Amino acid sequence: MIGHRASYAPAEVSFPAAALHDTRVARWLRDHKVAVDVRTVAELHSAISVGIHPVLMTVHAEQWDIGGLRRASAAGVGRVVLSRPEQITPLRANRTQNVLLRMTDAATTYSDVVVDALIDCRSTTLIGLLCEIGTADFVGCPVAIGNMIAAMDHIRRRHNVVLTRLILGVGDASATAGSSLVRRDLAEEIGESVDDACATMRFPRPAVVMAA
């Protein structure tokens, strides 16, 4: 696990909550305070039950209903990934919730309406974007990342808000890689693409998280 995590450096890495079914993995993730991606209410309860601190959790809210989102926010999860304006309402609470916006594809088809609603909501803080690049070959990686940084720059110019976190869903790239060298190549490709895009846009480099 340590080598797996280190092979992505300098990017951060988050692990799926499904991995918590293995007690040894769950113990390692808990002890090393590693970020965990939660996609269902059942996974939220499972992560809490094995001692993962909620602040380390990223909730992916595509399939969550209002009640589930309220429970996640009340539990104190660190980040919630949203894609629709109606998902904002359950987060209107006494605490401020860090949120990211899911990009529907690499063509930056995000909605200014969603961004406007998130920034106007006092109980949410938009901190970044998420995009699924989802392939072990790296052909589309620079284009997808370039579009993401362009979207961040658009938000900066429109709202005077600098987003600081970029989550990249790498799909099965981490699981199917035959060696740490392949994973390192992916991390290096992503790092170089982020550096190039930020230099082109003169945008401050965000923290990069690779999520399986």
Tell me the per-residue pLDDT of 168-203, one tens digit each, with 9 for 90 and over.
988 654 443 334 434 677 788 889 999 999 999 999
Indicate the average pLDDT of the chain: 83
| pLDDT recorded at residue 169 | 87
Question: In this prediction, what percent of the chain has a pLDDT beyond 70?
Answer: 81
Average pLDDT over residues 1-14: 58
| pLDDT recorded at residue 136 | 45
Average pLDDT over residues 126-142: 74
Position 164 pLDDT exceeds 80: yes
Q: Which of 208, 204, 197 is nearest to 168 (CA)?
A: 208
Q: pLDDT confidence of 6, banded at 50, 70, 90?
A: very low
DSSP 40-59: SHHHHHHHHHTT--GGGEEE
Based on the number of CB atoms within 10 Å of its own CB, is 119 exposed (0-12), middle (13-18) or buried (19 or more)?
Answer: middle
Q: Which of 59, 65, 103 is nearest to 83 (CA)?
A: 103
Q: What is the set of domains in the chain, with CATH numbers?
A: 2-211 (3.20.20.10)
Among left, alpha and beta (phi > 0; psi -120 to 50; other), residue 185 is: alpha
| pLDDT recorded at residue 130 | 92
| pLDDT recorded at residue 77 | 95
Position 12 pLDDT exceeds 90: no
12 vs 160: which has the higher pLDDT: 160
Give the lowest-confidence range in 4-8, 66-70, 138-142. 4-8
Sign of CA dihedral 101, 104, 107, 109: negative
Instruction: Please report the beta strands in 45-188, taking only residues with DSSP state E, as ranges in sequence order.
Output: 57-60, 79-82, 97-102, 124-132, 165-169
Position 2 pLDDT exceeds 80: no
Span 24-62, pLDDT tens digits? 999 999 999 999 999 999 999 999 999 999 999 999 998
pTM: 0.85
Span 54-91, pLDDT tens digits? 999 999 998 899 899 999 999 999 999 998 888 888 88
